Amino acid sequence: MAVALEATKAAGAIIREGWNSDREITFKGRADIVTDIDVKAEKAVLEILTSAFPDFGILAEESSPIAGKSQYRWVVDPLDGTRNYAQSIPHFCTIVALADSDEVIAGVVYDPVREETFTAARGQGAFLNGSPISVSETTELSRSLLSFDLGYVDEKAGLAIDLLRSLWPGMYSVRLMGSAGLGVAYAASGRVDLFFHHSLSPWDIAAGLILAKEAGGRVVDRQGNDAGLFTPSVICSSPVLIDGFLAATDGLPWRTAV
């Protein structure tokens, strides 16, 4: 955890330094971008992680996977919410998680703008800047603040919008996050009642899996099965709200689409 915290803080310093400077933007897809800051931050993170644990594998967004000689591997997103960052919207984070084979056992989500650090380790609880956190105590979907992101799969993003339209006005309100890492961290800490997404990569969700679990919540896929490191679709909330969300959205195309 100490090494993961050091790595996220190093990335945060680079991200803050680049905040008011011109950023080089490269398009990986229609709406999928990477900045030079993503690359610089990831380089700093990987140098710290590999120096401390040279045998661990690495799975990082902007680099080729490293197999490693150990059963452990780091999962890294140097800048989750790149589009927010590129547009000077101060809502993004750095994610560093540790997995034992495919089971995430520790994770850090660091917001360098607000200086907020979400941490969790297996069996040790979940925390925000050292204070314990827990998922929402709201039990009714109609009184819940739902959050989600569109991602890069246009068809499924459209189905997510349709899902919300079918629920409205059967919820308190909706927030479009722009950072899945913070979306899950906010769900784990009760800032939002539920977060869902249809197409995530392992580095987007890795820390969130352990954060939610240690905060008393669950992360499941669109079918309601427990999510893992390589689960693309996720719903994160308390067990009772997840049950309510699954019941309210049963049969909707967002839930059933392949």
Q: Domain end: 132, 159, 188, which one?
A: 132
Q: What is the mean pLDDT of the chain?
A: 93
> Which tens digits make up the pLDDT trace of 151-203?
877 889 999 999 999 999 999 999 999 999 999 999 999 999 999 999 999 99
Structural element, H or E, at residue 75: strand 72-80
Number of domains within the chain: 2
Report whether the peptide linkage leading into residue 169 is cis, meaning its omega lies within 30 degrees of zero.
yes
> Which tens digits make up the pLDDT trace of 63-114?
899 999 999 999 999 999 988 988 889 999 999 999 999 999 999 999 999 9
Structure tokens at 134: 């827990």
Distances (CA, A) of 50 to 3, 36, 70, 71, 97: 10, 21, 12, 14, 14
- Give the pLDDT of residue 28: 56
Please tell me whether residues 124 and 158 are part of one structural domain: no
- Give the pLDDT of residue 37: 86
Q: How far is it, in rounded angstroms, from Cα 229 to Cα 97?
A: 10
- Give the pLDDT of residue 82: 87
Q: Domain end: 74, 106, 132, which one?
A: 132
Assess whether pLDDT exceeds 60 at residue 31: no
Please tell me whether residues 214 and 241 are part of one structural domain: yes
Please tell me whether residues 153 and 66 are part of one structural domain: no
- Give the pLDDT of residue 33: 45
Assess whether pLDDT exceeds 60 at residue 29: no
| Position with higher pLDDT, 145 vs 25 | 145
Q: How far is it, in rounded angstroms, from Cα 164 to Cα 169?
A: 9
Amino acid present at 135: V
Q: For residue 198, what are the domain limits?
A: 141-256
Question: Kind of pairing, strands 194-197 and 57-60?
Answer: unpaired
Structure tokens at 221: 């896929």
Assess whether pLDDT exceeds 60 at residue 214: yes
Q: Find all residues with CB under 8 Å of 47, minimum gap 6, and list them.
A: none
Q: Domain end: 75, 100, 132, which one?
A: 132
Please tell me whether residues 127 and 7 are part of one structural domain: yes
Going by the DSSP 8-state scheme, the letter that residue 225 receives in this structure is P
- Give the pLDDT of residue 144: 97
Please tell me whether residues 180 and 239 are part of one structural domain: yes
Binding residues for Mg(2+): 61, 77, 79-80, 204
Please tell me whether residues 23 and 119 are part of one structural domain: yes
Structure tokens at 137: 């105590």
Binding residues: 61, 77, 79-80, 204
At 148, which CATH number?
3.40.190.80
- Residue 188 and residue 210 in contact, taking contact as beta carbons nearer than 8 Å: no
Assess whether pLDDT exceeds 50 at residue 58: yes
Please tell me whether residues 7 and 107 are part of one structural domain: yes
Its pTM stands at: 0.94
- Give the pLDDT of residue 81: 92
